[in-house]
Amino acid sequence: SAVISQKPSRDICQRGTSLTIQCQVDSQVTMMFWYRQQPGQSLTLIATANQGSEATYESGFVIDKFPISRPNLTFSTLTVSNMSPEDSSIYLCSVELWNIQYFGAGTRLSVL
């Protein structure tokens, strides 16, 4: 498996601001993924981040709102931009090892 560290674990933000979430993994991985879990809902894939290339976004998610960086094989960031209360959610990063996806502890975001 993999040890995944995600920061911050939670935050409360004001409408219109941006938050950058960091994801660090203890081994080199090709693929990292970002998911959103809205209150009482299941996980929805936001984007796939492959080191050295642009992130691939799922339908309904755009780069201007959720810019992603993937500077190396152990690290990625997701920024939630120009936040609104509808962005209140848990954001999880995930890494793929041997066809299994492992999840970080998540970032619980509340937007006021």
Query: Which residues contact other proteins by CB under 8 A?
Result: 30-31, 33, 35, 41-45, 48, 50, 58, 92, 94, 96, 99-106
Q: Residues 62, 79: contact at Cβ < 8 Å?
A: no
Query: Minimum distance from CB of 107 to other proteins (Å)?
Result: 10
Tokens (6 digits) for 65: 């709102």
Query: Minimum distance from CB of 35 to other proteins (Å)?
Result: 8
Query: Minimum distance from CB of 95 to other proteins (Å)?
Result: 10
